[in-house]
Amino acid sequence: MCLRIGLDAMGGDHAPEAPVRGAIMAIEANPDLYVTLVGDEAKIHGYLGAHRDHPQIVVHPASEVITMDDEPVASVRKKPHSSMVEAMKILKAGAVDAVISAGNTGALMASGLLYLGRMRGVDRPALTALFPSVKTWGVLVLDVGANLDPKPLHLVQYGLIGALYCQEALDIQRPKVGLLNVGTEVQKGPKELREAHARLAQLESIDFVGNVEARELLQGKADVVVCGGFVGNIALKLTEGVARDLFHELREAFNASWVTRLAGLAMQPKLRELVRTMDYQAVGGAPLLGLDGIVYKCHGASEDRAFRSALSMAHAYLARGSQTRIRDRLAAESFSYGEGES
């Protein structure tokens, strides 16, 4: 069976070189993976080199690019021939089975909604992020930027669809679901969070563990952590910034003298393990859950190995047939919490 993935070759800080090289790395590791690179043909061919005529790589032309500075919704309509929009078009047409992009996040969600629509039972699709964890496989956090002002129903839907993704895509049989809040007590937080807490606790299909404080986010208390996009985006960027600055300070400290250099050599194996744990490039990307199609978002600063990882992740998701099972289970579940409720 051939698994076909469309890759926005013009999205991200290092495009098109990083997406193209990542695609080459991915097809060499997966003989049943076929990648359609979408973007400027001349630039893409320039980086393909000896792989220009490789049977597992197709180039789909796109004459425009949506930049990080473009207004998301307007750019999707004003640039219908952009690499991102063209990728969505070929996914909608069935020419590929999934799409990956490191481009403008808002535009990716907007184009997904325009061309793919939402799964039944989902009012607002969520942008997810896979956070590292010091004790478990990691933490799936949603939403991290798509829906800045969610209603309680949206948070309930996030908990359910996040749990389904962990089950179907990550083999976590009974994922623990938590609600990001300012305290663990049931009565903490604004009205919307208290209502979401009560409704999540009533869902028999998930293992709801209650409120999770930000300081517990990476501790493994929950496999899925639900929050609004404003809070989630701040948590994501704060975590990235702390990790970056911490590693910088450690590097400076270990290079301060010959004594600290020796200490650094002794600590090197553990430090490398920590770096691997916190490295988003190794994760690759995270899905936009709730869209009626498979779309993965990579970090804007993704390098070739991040695109390779994202392609491998989407490849595994397709091979398992996870999307169909999530769609069916979500549609059945939606009637128990009021589909379409505002």
Q: What is the CATH number of the domain that holds 203?
A: 3.40.718.10
Indicate the SS3 state at residue 131: strand
The pLDDT assigned to 275 comes to 62
SS3 letters across 36-85: EEEECHHHHHHHHHHHCCCCCEEEEECCECCCCCCCHHHHHHHCCCEHHH
Assigned domain for 194 exists: yes
| pLDDT interval class at 339 (50, 70, 90) | very low
Q: Are residues 130 and 278 located together in one domain of the fold?
A: yes
Looking at 235, 259, 282, the residue that finishes a domain is 282
Whether residue 200 sits in one domain with residue 116:
no
Do 158 and 276 have their domain in common? yes
Do 268 and 222 lie in one domain? The reply is yes
Give the residue, 121 or 142, on which the prediction is more confident.
142
143 with 273, same domain? yes
Residue 2 lies in a domain: yes
Cα–Cα distance list, 85 to 109, 193, 194, 221, 339 (Å): 11, 35, 38, 38, 29
pLDDT value at residue 218: 86
pLDDT digits (tens, 9 = 90+) for 263-308: 777 777 766 766 665 555 566 688 999 999 999 999 888 899 999 9
Does residue 140 sit in the same domain as residue 36? no
Give the pLDDT score at 217. Answer: 87
For the record, the structure tokens of 72 come out as 């998301």
Do residues 114 and 255 both lie within one domain?
no
**157 and 270 inside one domain:** yes
Domain boundary among 282, 302, 330: 282
Could you tell me the two tokens for 271?
A: 């430090």
Q: Are residues 307 and 268 in the same domain?
A: no
The answer to whether position 340 is within a domain reads no
Interval 199-219 mean pLDDT: 91
Residue 222 lies in a domain: yes
Top pLDDT among 1 and 259 is at 259
Does residue 4 sit in the same domain as residue 106?
yes
Is 341 part of a structural domain of the chain?
no
Looking at the fold, whether 38 and 85 belong to one and the same domain comes out as yes
- Report the chain's mean pLDDT, rounded to a whole number: 88
Work out how many domains the chain is built from and give that number: 2
φ/ψ of residue 223, rounded to 5: -85, -30
Residue 176 included in any domain = yes
- Token output for 252: 């400076």
pLDDT tens digits for 24-57?
A: 999 999 999 999 999 999 999 999 988 999 999 9
Cis geometry, peptide bond prior to residue 143 (ω within 30 degrees of 0): yes
Residues 47 and 109 in one domain: yes
The pLDDT value recorded for residue 328 is 86
Those residues with Cβ within 8 angstroms of residue 206's Cβ, 6 or more apart along the chain or in another chain: 159, 160, 163, 175, 177, 200
**Domain interval for residue 165:** 123-282
Q: How far apart are CA 306 and CA 78, in angstroms?
A: 29
Residue at which a domain ends, from 253, 282, 311:
282
Q: Is the pLDDT of residue 156 over 80?
A: yes
CA 75: distance to chain centroid?
21
- CA angle, residues 236, 295, 44, in degrees to nearest 5: 100
In this structure, the dihedral spanned by the alpha carbons of residues 108, 114, 118 and 123, taken in order and rounded to 10 degrees, is: 90
Q: What is the dihedral of CA 308, 314, 319, 321, to 10 degrees?
A: 180
**19 falls in which pLDDT band (50, 70, 90)?**
very high
Tell me, yes or no, whether 334 lies in a domain: no
In a domain, residue 297? The reply is yes
Sign (positive or negative) of CA dihedral 75, 103, 151, 164: positive
- On the question of pLDDT at 336 being above 60, the answer is no
